[in-house]
Structure 1
């Protein structure tokens, strides 16, 4: 019965690893919220400043808010800004970060023509997916369809795409025959417009020298003329023969619209679909829900979805954890083989590892926590703790057997004399982890899952190792002796035959 229970718990521990959702790191209440802001293309710097000042006043109306910091135009896009809202340590306020962020976004939603999204400390959204393809229009359509379907998922909120909003632009299309006749190239036309609007490149500008300083002299159209760029078609361009002709003679200028930015990834057009996790959900649950959407199951021809952001990092961490766990188990086996002078007995120690994993996952399930980077670190800690308990039992039993005790008597004596130090060390480790298991302090959200996993694994593995290790040792060591009895007579007979031939 005990043996059946051993393998039952072993199988349940392995299966239980698939029950918990995954996440990169738990959401932390650090007393600060970051919000990205985007206004319509063509917004001037003065308009951006006016809108962000209004947003700052709205957010300041929240009682917990202590300060608001606005940063705009740093990336070269004057229609984009970021909002940093500080509301102090969680021990000094009654509401949590989730409730305050909900209040902030509700107030920002009252401002028209504003795209506002919560971002993490790394400057990205919680959920980030890249739609890739060779056709920009197909990628944009697929991204918008994915956005539409994701808006129906309860796991995410604030779904949006990074597809650039169309903005007005003036296109200058050369008249091929006339431009070729005058010897005017598309690059020459572009240079005329560049010099007229933003000035020439810095290397070509004349310099004014004053002492040790040089100042570039920028020559361009007056601001009133730059506001009516259709009038630029009256500018004159010099042909290679020295004749000056108006731009309208060799090119057509028209007002149209186009994307403000084109993004590529691995030489494919890229449009990201991003979202914020809804309260009560983690990254693993959101990505599983997105993967189950019809658009994700059947992407249009020429397009594909690539996971980016925290989900990509999480997948890399779990893959690295599997490699580290495998390498750790192999190293433990090698060291135990040297310690026990046997390749079979270390298997007993390794078979106790799933007991700790099962206890850790069960504890996480009780406290409704996901499996993230901190939990992975906790699993690695449990490997050393659990193997320590089994080693103490087997080493004592091995010494007792060398003194002439039978295997059952040796295991009973080992359990009797080593139970106290095993339990005491487990209690000490559990007590040391208890402060980290509480999330009342700053940053406790990250350490709490690791502490809960370690405590659960220690409690279950300590209780079961005192029962299962003797049974497993009797099974494995008895099987080893049985095989040796089968092999050794054959070996002796083969040695005798070889001696007779000699």
Structure 2
């Protein structure tokens, strides 16, 4: 038997799940595209109002860039916190070690369940090898570096730093705690410095420059978001100054060299004056012999005064014991703990970090403070700002210039291909929407403007332009067919609906893992996603409206010439 006529054209539904899914998707997508076509017709019917309002919203959205804040590279979650501790000046190495142990216990109490291990290094590195390969701000026995290893490698270290700053300052008054970058990217960008902002006071007059640096530190600490503001060099390290009296010394046949040699031998050992080695005949090994007074016996000013001073003149027959206190004046003074030089002259480094605020905002306030303190600066001093923050200006200028240069180059390239100045202009009208989308995506995700974000903006310009080319090129073809600009715009939008969505969706889906991750490139993914979302809307609605506005007002002869 033959089937009824109305059933000849029907086919049985496929049992293949993928085919059924494809047909269902195509059916719903066609409905979605038809709905878009109806909306596009209504929008083009009111194109003048739509273009004005949409362009105004896009331009106003660009003002969000001024509220985002500026960073060079974003800080990422990490499993390591690098902290520096500076005890009161003059603290002995063994006391600093015990203090570091107490601080380690306090850190575990302040971060319960978060700390896996703490490694502390106190005092100066031993030998030039360690000093070269272990970048550290330690300058004396009172300094300790603490590396805090966290159990979670994706920990919000900025929250932990805030907790430690408050808790440790309350428990250990008089001890400074500062934090250095722990991730490799920040260390490289800082050029090994402990902070992203390095204010350098350079000049020949050390003490006036140091007092001026202290005034700057007081001003910097009042800046919102500025933390860990310290002067790297110290000028008040407790020191016993021994000044020999030549007159008294010559009277008893003792020179200043005799006083210095005997003092060094007593306090530091004979290896500072005359290195003597003993050869073990059984093994052939040489051992350095160091003779010095036990430290428990050198525990007061009086023990320094009673140091015996022998004469280096072997021909002298004067064997009477002379004491250092009879030949020299001993006074307690504060001296530089370390002297740093820049261009031969003494240099002071003021380190400033940013926390809870963008680096660009803190840097701007630092520059304002330095400028306002110009009248108090010593005449021979120079103040310069270095570090990661100083490079941020050049990087931003280059990237922003590159962004507009990319737009201009893309426009000129399209002009060459289209042999028209007008159609390329219509194509790039989607780019304000891309910039607005970037601004909104960064603003809503609380992401600051950074170098990766600007790189993502440049990437977005290319994809947004490519989608606009699809729409305008097809509208151009349809305009040559029937000469109706409005109809050509509607046909271009509905026909190019699928490729535009597929191109944008593929790029967006590829950026989702990057945007949701914790890497430094997360702002790049967020900028691309936000820019393409809004740029796609502009391509499907705004660009056809602009095309219809421009070509519907032109006479047919001009349309043919422009095409």
Q: Do the structures match in fold with TM over 0.5?
A: yes
Q: Which has the larger radius of gyration?
A: 2
Cα pair distance change 1:278/1:458, threshold 3 Å: same
Tell me, yes or no, if structure 1 residue 86 matches structure 2 residue 149.
yes
Q: Any conservation in 1 of the 2:246–2:256 contact (CA below 8 Å)?
A: no
Cα pair distance change 1:234/1:213, threshold 3 Å: closer
Q: Deviations over 1:76-100 (max 9, x none)?
A: 6332112222332278x9xx54454
Q: 35, 40, 50: which is aligned to 2:88?
A: 40
Query: Equivalent residue for 1:496?
Result: none
Q: Any conservation in 1 of the 2:262–2:307 contact (CA below 8 Å)?
A: no
**How large is the Cα RMSD of the aligned pairs?**
4.6
- Equivalent-residue separation in structure 1 for 2:459 and 2:259 (angstroms): 67
CA-CA distance at 1:167 after TM superposition:
1.3
Q: Any conservation in 2 of the 1:189–1:237 contact (CA below 8 Å)?
A: no
Q: Any conservation in 2 of the 1:139–1:269 contact (CA below 8 Å)?
A: no
Tell me, yes or no, if structure 1 residue 20 matches structure 2 residue 20.
no
Paired residues, what number? 473
- Equivalent-residue separation in structure 2 for 1:336 and 1:355 (angstroms): 19
SS in 2 for 1:68: strand
Q: 344, 349, 373: which is aligned to 1:298?
A: 373
SS in 2 for 1:19: helix
SS in 2 for 1:17: helix
Cα pair distance change 1:368/1:107, threshold 3 Å: closer
CA-CA distance at 1:36 after TM superposition:
0.6
CA-CA distance at 1:204 after TM superposition:
8.2
- Equivalent-residue separation in structure 2 for 1:203 and 1:236 (angstroms): 14
Cα pair distance change 1:102/1:21, threshold 3 Å: closer
Query: Equivalent residue for 1:321?
Result: 399
Q: Which moved more, 1:340-349 or 1:138-147?
A: 340-349
CA-CA distance at 1:75 after TM superposition:
3.5
Q: Any conservation in 2 of the 1:73–1:79 contact (CA below 8 Å)?
A: yes
- Equivalent-residue separation in structure 1 for 2:537 and 2:216 (angstroms): 49
SS in 2 for 1:37: strand
Q: Any conservation in 1 of the 2:68–2:448 contact (CA below 8 Å)?
A: yes
Cα pair distance change 1:44/1:406, threshold 3 Å: same
- Equivalent-residue separation in structure 2 for 1:311 and 1:344 (angstroms): 42
- Equivalent-residue separation in structure 2 for 1:270 and 1:5 (angstroms): 57
Query: Equivalent residue for 1:159?
Result: 229
Q: Any conservation in 2 of the 1:165–1:260 contact (CA below 8 Å)?
A: yes
Matches within 5 A, 1:244-323: 254-267=331-344, 269-279=346-356, 281-293=357-369, 296-299=371-374, 300-302=376-378, 303=381, 305-323=383-401
Q: Any conservation in 2 of the 1:234–1:248 contact (CA below 8 Å)?
A: no
CA-CA distance at 1:55 after TM superposition:
1.5
Q: 319, 343, 355: which is aligned to 2:433?
A: 355
Cα pair distance change 1:25/1:252, threshold 3 Å: same
CA-CA distance at 1:116 after TM superposition:
1.2
Matches within 5 A, 1:9-158: 11-12=59-60, 15-61=63-109, 62-64=111-113, 65-73=115-123, 75=125, 77-89=140-152, 97-109=157-169, 110-121=171-182, 122=187, 128-134=197-203, 135-158=205-228
Gaps of at least 5 residues in structure 1 are: 486-502
- Equivalent-residue separation in structure 2 for 1:214 and 1:405 (angstroms): 101
Tell me, yes or no, if structure 1 residue 418 matches structure 2 residue 483.
no
What is the TM-score when the length of structure 2 is the normalising length?
0.68
Q: 372, 376, 383: which is aligned to 2:454?
A: 376
Query: Equivalent residue for 1:451?
Result: 525
Query: Equivalent residue for 1:489?
Result: none
Q: Which moved more, 1:81-90 or 1:124-133?
A: 124-133
SS in 1 for 2:532: helix
Q: Any conservation in 1 of the 2:202–2:348 contact (CA below 8 Å)?
A: no
Q: Which moved more, 1:333-342 or 1:410-419?
A: 333-342
Q: Which moved more, 1:211-220 or 1:22-31?
A: 211-220
Q: Which moved more, 1:359-368 or 1:119-128?
A: 119-128
- Equivalent-residue separation in structure 2 for 1:233 and 1:334 (angstroms): 88
SS in 2 for 1:22: coil
Cα pair distance change 1:151/1:233, threshold 3 Å: farther
CA-CA distance at 1:6 after TM superposition:
6.8
- Equivalent-residue separation in structure 1 for 2:437 and 2:264 (angstroms): 68
Q: Which moved more, 1:207-216 or 1:34-43?
A: 207-216
Query: Equivalent residue for 2:445?
Result: 367
Q: Deviations over 1:305-360 (max 9, x none)?
A: 43333423433432332344355345434543443345664444445333211211
Q: Any conservation in 1 of the 2:64–2:443 contact (CA below 8 Å)?
A: no
Q: Deviations over 1:153-178 (max 9, x none)?
A: 44234433324151133446688999
Gaps of at least 5 residues in structure 2 are: 1-47, 127-139
Q: Which moved more, 1:314-323 or 1:457-466?
A: 314-323
CA-CA distance at 1:151 after TM superposition:
3.0
CA-CA distance at 1:187 after TM superposition:
9.8
- Equivalent-residue separation in structure 2 for 1:18 and 1:454 (angstroms): 19
CA-CA distance at 1:146 after TM superposition:
2.3
